[in-house]
C-alpha cells in the first residue's frame, strides 16, 4: 500500500470515528440540555411522582355500580393494574411495544429501524414514551424542528418515568390517560362506553378492539360507521401481533379474526344512562357541600377535576326498572293522547282560548336557551321574533327515537307541549333511602324534574292524611260509618270567603259508607266531614310532621288535595305510614370520599315519631281497601282492560296500601303505593294544566300513573335479589281499633265495585 493511500485511509478512519463520536456526543449533549431544561420545561420529581390529571367524580349506587360521572373535558376514572385483564395487557404489549419489558424507556432497536426505513417500518415510540406524551407534552407540532425537540423531551421523560415507576404502573398509567373519544378517557370509561362492562370483564376480542384504537382512536373507532372496517382490520392486526409474540396459537388467531366486530355502545354523557335527573340534583348538592367543606389547604373541591366518589342510596337495578316502567307505559299512553287530540283544533290544549295559548307559548319562548342566548347577545325583540318564526334543522324527541326535522322554534315549542310528562320516586321507609328517582321521560329533551322541582296539585292522594288524623285523634275505625250526603262547612268557622260544599263525582249520594269504602272510592263529602271533625289545622300539622315541607294554608279544601306539592314530599310522607308512624328524612347520599378513598363526610338519617304504630297500621288498612275494591283495584283485578292500561292484568295478591289522585279536568294523575319496605309515588300530566285528557277513563290517576307503578313493582318482584316485601303489614300487638269489618259484604260487593272503578270519585 502506497504512503498516499495509507494517509487517505487513516484520514477516513479519523473522520469516521470523529463523526460517530461527534454524533454520540451531540446526542449526549442534546439529552443533557433537555434534562437541564434548556429545550423547555420538564416535569419536576414531584410532578413525576404525582402527575396532574383531571379526574371525573363518580356517583356510585348502593349496589356498587357507577351510575354517572361529573366531568368537563375528561371522563377519566383511574383503575389499578389488578383491575386490568391479562389479555388486554398482552394485546397492548404485543401491538404497541414488543420489547416493553426489556428497555428502559427507549427502544433503540426500534429507533434504529425507524431511522433506517424513514419511519415506514413502523414507529419507535414505546409505551413509556406515549405515556410521557399523554402526561407532560403537548400535541405534536407540525414544525419539524419543534417536533424533534418535543421527541427528545419525551425520551428524557420516558427514562425518568422508568426510574420512577414499575412496568405494571406504567402500563396502568398509560391506559388510564389514553383518550378513546366519545367521552371515553381512560380504559375504565372506554370499557364501560364501548362494551358496557368493567375492564376486568373484557374478553380477548374486546381487548383487541381497545388496543386497536390506540393507534388512532378516531380512525380505528368501532362506533363510527365510516371507520368500522378499519377498526376490524386493525383488531385483526392485534391478533396477528399476539400470535407473533407467542400469546395465542395459530388456531386461536384464525378463529378470532373470523369474529364480527361487536360492541355494546353505552354513552356516558350527562343526559344519558341511569338516574339523569337525580344526578343533576345531586351535582348541585355536592357543589354546595364543597363550599362548606374545603380541603386542608383551604382550596375548594372541584367535582369536575378532583375525582371524588359519591356513594348514593339509589339502587341501580331499581333505577333501571323504574326507567323501563315509565318508558313502557308513557310511550303507550302517548299514542292515545295524540289520537284524542287529532280533532282538537287547539291541540294539545283544552279549556283556554287562543290568547291564553299565545301567552303560554310566549312564556316558553322566554324560558328557552335560544331566547336567553339571543338576549344576552343584544338581539332586538324583532330579530328574535324572526328567528323563532324561521324554520331550521333540528333534532327532536319522539318515542321511537330522536328524529331530524325542519321546524321553526315556535313550532318546536308547540310540538313538545304535546308530550305528557311523568315522574317516579321510590323510598325505603325504614331508612329513608331513595332507591329510584325518575324525574321525567327524557332528560336530554325535557330538563324539568318532576320529582323535586315540580309542584302540582295532589288531589285525592292527600285524603289519607285526613283519615290518619281522625284515627290518631279520635280513634276512628275503618268500620265507622258516615252519611254519604251533601255537607257544608260555613265560611265563618274557618275564616273563608264562602261556604264550602264539596261535591261527589257524578253527584252520587245516599245511605252510609264505612270509612274504608269512602276512602277506597274517594268520596268527597265524607272526607269533608272528617276534616271538620279534626280541623284543618290538625290535618296540616300531621302532614307537615310526616314530611310535607311546602307551606300551605290550613283550610278545609286541603281535604281534597287543593294544594301544590312535590312528588318527593308526598312519597316521603306516605313512607311514614309504612314505617309504623316513624318519619325518616329522605336520604340520597351516604358518603363522600376523595380520590384516595379518604372519607370526607358520612351522612345519617334524621327520625321522629309522627303517628302511633296503631294509627299508622289502621291508616294502611284503609289504604289497602283502595287497592282491593276501590280506585286502585285494577292492581289485582284480572278483568280485561283497555289497551292504554299498559301491562295489564297485574294480578298482585300481596298487601298494597295505596291511593289514586286526579285533579280538576284530569290535569294531574297520581298514584301513591306502598308495601312494607318500599313506598313509590308516580305523577303524570301535561307541562301545563290545560294539557290533559278529556275524560277520566284515560286521564285518571288509575290510568295515567298506576300502570307505571305496577310495571315497576312487577319488575322489582321478579328480581329476587332486591328482597322487596310481599308480606302483610305488621299488626301491632295491642291493636284496639277494629279493622276487621264487613268481610262478607266485601266478598259480595267486590265484583260489583270492580266494575265501577272507572267511575270512582277520584277528586
Question: What are the grid coordinates assigned to 397, written together?
Answer: 324527541
The tens digit of pLDDT for each residue in 494-525 reads: 999 999 999 998 788 889 999 999 999 999 99
Q: Determine which of 104-118, 216-230, 243-257, 588-602 has the lowest per-residue pLDDT on average.
A: 104-118
Contacts of 37 (CB under 8 A, 6+ apart): none
pLDDT at 133: 84
Mean pLDDT across 450-469: 97
Q: Judge whether residue 752 has pLDDT over 50.
A: no
Helix, strand or coil, per DSSP, at residue 425? strand
Q: Judge whether residue 82 has pLDDT over 60.
A: yes
100-106-111-112 Cα dihedral, nearest 10 degrees:
-100
pLDDT at 112: 56
pLDDT at 1: 52
Model confidence band, residue 763 (pLDDT cutoffs 50, 70, 90): very low
Instruction: Report the greatest alpha carbon distance in the chain.
Output: 139
Q: For the chain, what is the radius of gyration of the CA atoms? A: 34
Asked if residues 760 and 521 have their Cβ atoms less than 8 Å apart, the reply is yes
The tens digit of pLDDT for each residue in 344-388 reads: 999 999 989 999 999 999 999 999 999 999 999 999 999 999 999
Q: Within a 13 Å sphere around the CA of 629, how many CA atoms are in the beta-carbon half?
A: 18
Q: Would you list the DSSP string of 509-569?
A: --SEEEHHHHHHTT-HHHHHHHHHHH-HHHHHHHHHHHT--S-----GGGGGT-SEE-HHH
Model confidence band, residue 470 (pLDDT cutoffs 50, 70, 90): very high
pLDDT at 46: 57
pLDDT at 75: 76
Q: Determine which of 41-55, 100-114, 577-591, 605-619 has the lowest per-residue pLDDT on average.
A: 41-55
Q: Judge whether residue 702 has pLDDT over 60.
A: yes
Contacts of 427 (CB under 8 A, 6+ apart): 433, 434, 435, 571, 572, 575, 586, 678, 679, 680
Contacts 24+ apart (CB under 8 A), 390-397: 396/445, 397/442, 397/444, 397/445, 397/446
Contacts of 371 (CB under 8 A, 6+ apart): 365, 384, 388
Q: Judge whether residue 471 has pLDDT over 80.
A: yes
Strand 309-312 and strand 57-60: the pairing is parallel
Q: Judge whether residue 456 has pLDDT over 70.
A: yes
pLDDT at 163: 84
pLDDT at 128: 87
CATH superfamily membership of 72-268: Biosynthetic peptidoglycan transglycosylase-like (1.10.3810.10)
pLDDT at 211: 95
Q: What share of the chain is helix, strand, coil (3-state, %, to 5)?
A: 50, 10, 40
Beta bridge partners of 405: 394
Angstrom distance (rounded) from CA 448 to CA 456: 13
Angstrom distance (rounded) from CA 301 to CA 597: 14
By C-alpha distance, which of 84, 82, 133, 80 is closest to 105? 133
Q: Determine which of 14-23, 215-224, 293-302, 373-382 has the lowest per-residue pLDDT on average.
A: 14-23
Mean pLDDT across 718-745: 88
Percent with pLDDT over 70 in the chain: 86
Selection from 51-60, 169-178, 349-358, 542-551 with the highest mean pLDDT: 542-551
Selection from 290-299, 308-317, 638-647, 748-757 with the highest mean pLDDT: 308-317
Asked if residues 625 and 516 have their Cβ atoms less than 8 Å apart, the reply is yes
pLDDT at 373: 93
**Cis peptide bond upstream of 649, omega within 30:** yes
Tell me the domain boundaries of the chain: 72-268, 349-417, 421-759
Q: Judge whether residue 756 has pLDDT over 60.
A: no
Helix, strand or coil, per DSSP, at residue 307? coil
pLDDT at 41: 56
Helix, strand or coil, per DSSP, at residue 483? strand
Helix, strand or coil, per DSSP, at residue 423? strand
pLDDT at 754: 39
Is 158 or 758 the better-scoring residue by pLDDT? 158
What mean pLDDT, rounded, does the chain reach?
88
Q: Judge whether residue 335 has pLDDT over 60.
A: yes
Mean pLDDT across 421-447: 97
pLDDT at 19: 63
Q: Enumerate helices (H) and strands (E) in the chain, giving the number of each.
A: 28, 18
The alpha carbon dihedral of 229, 234, 235, 237 has a sign of positive
pLDDT at 25: 57
Domain 421-759 is in which class? alpha beta
pLDDT at 744: 39
Model confidence band, residue 272 (pLDDT cutoffs 50, 70, 90): confident
Q: Judge whether residue 189 has pLDDT over 50.
A: yes
Phi, psi of 235 (to 5 degrees): -60, -40
Cell 355536592 locates to: 286
> How many C-beta atoms lie closer than 10 Å to residue 671's C-beta?
32
Question: What are the grid coordinates assigned to 141, written together?
Answer: 407540532
CA 641, 645, 649: angle at the middle one, nearest 5? Answer: 60
Element (H, E) at 494: helix 491-494
Q: Determine which of 123-137, 274-288, 701-715, 743-757 has the lowest per-residue pLDDT on average.
A: 743-757
Q: Judge whether residue 194 has pLDDT over 70.
A: yes
Question: What are the grid coordinates assigned to 706, written together?
Answer: 298506576
Is 47 or 661 the better-scoring residue by pLDDT? 661
Question: What are the grid coordinates assigned to 557, written together?
Answer: 279544601
Amino acid at each position: 500500500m502506497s504512503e498516499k493511500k495509507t494517509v487517505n485511509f487513516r484520514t477516513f478512519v479519523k473522520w469516521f470515528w470523529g463523526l460517530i463520536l461527534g454524533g454520540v456526543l451531540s446526542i449526549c449533549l442534546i439529552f443533557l440540555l433537555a434534562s437541564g431544561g434548556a429545550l423547555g420545561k420538564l416535569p419536576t420529581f414531584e410532578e413525576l411522582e404525582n402527575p396532574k390529571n383531571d379526574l371525573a367524580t363518580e356517583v356510585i349506587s348502593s349496589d356498587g355500580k357507577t351510575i354517572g360521572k361529573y366531568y368537563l373535558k375528561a371522563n377519566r376514572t383511574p383503575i389499578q393494574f389488578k383491575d386490568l385483564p391479562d389479555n388486554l395487557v398482552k394485546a397492548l404489549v404485543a401491538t404497541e411495544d414488543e420489547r416493553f419489558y426489556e428497555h428502559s424507556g427507549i427502544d433503540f432497536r426500534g429507533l434504529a429501524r425507524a431511522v433506517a426505513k424513514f419511519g415506514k417500518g413502523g414507529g419507535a415510540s414505546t409505551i413509556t414514551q406515549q405515556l410521557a406524551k399523554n402526561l407532560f407534552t403537548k400535541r405534536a407540532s407540525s414544525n419539524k424542528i419543534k417536533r424533534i425537540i418535543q421527541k427528545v423531551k419525551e425520551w428524557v421523560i420516558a427514562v425518568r418515568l422508568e426510574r420512577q415507576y414499575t412496568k405494571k404502573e406504567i402500563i396502568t398509567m398509560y391506559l388510564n390517560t389514553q383518550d378513546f373519544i366519545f367521552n371515553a378517557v381512560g380504559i375504565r370509561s372506554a370499557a364501560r362506553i364501548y362494551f358496557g362492562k368493567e375492564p376486568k370483564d373484557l374478553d380477548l376480542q374486546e381487548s383487541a378492539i381497545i388496543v386497536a384504537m390506540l393507534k388512532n382512536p378516531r380512525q380505528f373507532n368501532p362506533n363510527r360507521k365510516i371507520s368500522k372496517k378499519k377498526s376490524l382490520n386493525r383488531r385483526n392486526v392485534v391478533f396477528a401481533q399476539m400470535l407473533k409474540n407467542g400469546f395465542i396459537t395459530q388456531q386461536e388467531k384464525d378463529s378470532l379474526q373470523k369474529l364480527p366486530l361487536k360492541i355494546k355502545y353505552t354513552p356516558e354523557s350527562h343526559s344519558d344512562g341511569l338516574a339523569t335527573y337525580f344526578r343533576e340534583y345531586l351535582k348541585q348538592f355536592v357543589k354546595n357541600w364543597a363550599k362548606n367543606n374545603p380541603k386542608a389547604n383551604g382550596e375548594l373541591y372541584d367535582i369536575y377535576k378532583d375525582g371524588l366518589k359519591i356513594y348514593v342510596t339509589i339502587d341501580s337495578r331499581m333505577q333501571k326498572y323504574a326507567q323501563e316502567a315509565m318508558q313502557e307505559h308513557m310511550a303507550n299512553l302517548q299514542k292515545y293522547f295524540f289520537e284524542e287530540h287529532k280533532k282538537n283544533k287547539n291541540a294539545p290544549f283544552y279549556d283556554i282560548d287562543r290568547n291564553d295559548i299565545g301567552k303560554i307559548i310566549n312564556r316558553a319562548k322566554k324560558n328557552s336557551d335560544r331566547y336567553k342566548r339571543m338576549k344576552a347577545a343584544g338581539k332586538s325583540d324583532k330579530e328574535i321574533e324572526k328567528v323563532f318564526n324561521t324554520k331550521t334543522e333540528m333534532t327532536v324527541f319522539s318515542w321511537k327515537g330522536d328524529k331530524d326535522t325542519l321546524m321553526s322554534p315556535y313550532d318546536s315549542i308547540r310540538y313538545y307541549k304535546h308530550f305528557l310528562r311523568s315522574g317516579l320516586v321510590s323510598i325505603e321507609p325504614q331508612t329513608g333511602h331513595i332507591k329510584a328517582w325518575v324525574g321525567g321521560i327524557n332528560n336530554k329533551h325535557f330538563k324539568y324534574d318532576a320529582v323535586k322541582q315540580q309542584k302540582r296539585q295532589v288531589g285525592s292522594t292527600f285524603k289519607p292524611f285526613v283519615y290518619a288524623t281522625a284515627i290518631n285523634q279520635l280513634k276512628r275505625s275503618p268500620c265507622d260509618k258516615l252519611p254519604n250526603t251533601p255537607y257544608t262547612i260555613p265560611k265563618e268557622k274557618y275564616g273563608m270567603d264562602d261556604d264550602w260544599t264539596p261535591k261527589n263525582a257524578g253527584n252520587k249520594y245516599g245511605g252510609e259508607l264505612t270509612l274504608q269504602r269512602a276512602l277506597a272510592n274517594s268520596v268527597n263529602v265524607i272526607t269533608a266531614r272528617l276534616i271538620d271533625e279534626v280541623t284543618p289545622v290538625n290535618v296540616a300539622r300531621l302532614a307537615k310532621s310526616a314530611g310535607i315541607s311546602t307551606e300551605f294554608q290550613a283550610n278545609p279544601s286541603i281535604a281534597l288535595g287543593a294544594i301544590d306539592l312535590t312528588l318527593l314530599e308526598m312519597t316521603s310522607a306516605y313512607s311514614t305510614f309504612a314505617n309504623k308512624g316513624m318519619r325518616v328524612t329522605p336520604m340520597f347520599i351516604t358518603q363522600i370520599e376523595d380520590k384516595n378513598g379518604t372519607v370526607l363526610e358520612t351522612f345519617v338519617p334524621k327520625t321522629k315519631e309522627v303517628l302511633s304504630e296503631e294509627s299508622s297500621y289502621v291508616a294502611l288498612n284503609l289504604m289497602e281497601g283502595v287497592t282491593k275494591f276501590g280506585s286502585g283495584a285494577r292492581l289485582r283485578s284480572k278483568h280485561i282492560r283497555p289497551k292504554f292500561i299498559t301491562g295489564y292484568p297485574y294480578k298482585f295478591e300481596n298487601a298494597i296500601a295505596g291511593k289514586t289522585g286526579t285533579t280538576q279536568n284530569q290535569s294531574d294523575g297520581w298514584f301513591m303505593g306502598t308495601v312494607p319496605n318500599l313506598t313509590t309515588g308516580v305523577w303524570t300530566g301535561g307541562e301545563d294544566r290545560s294539557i290533559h285528557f278529556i275524560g277520566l277513563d284515560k286521564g285518571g290517576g288509575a290510568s295515567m300513573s298506576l300502570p307505571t307503578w305496577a310495571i315497576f313493582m312487577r319488575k322489582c318482584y321478579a328480581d329476587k335479589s332486591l328482597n322487596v316485601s310481599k308480606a302483610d303489614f305488621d299488626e301491632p300487638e295491642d291493636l284496639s281499633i277494629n279493622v276487621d269489618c264487613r268481610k262478607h259484604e266485601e266478598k259480595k260487593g267486590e265484583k260489583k265495585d270492580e266494575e265501577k272503578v272507572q267511575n270512582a270519585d277520584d277528586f
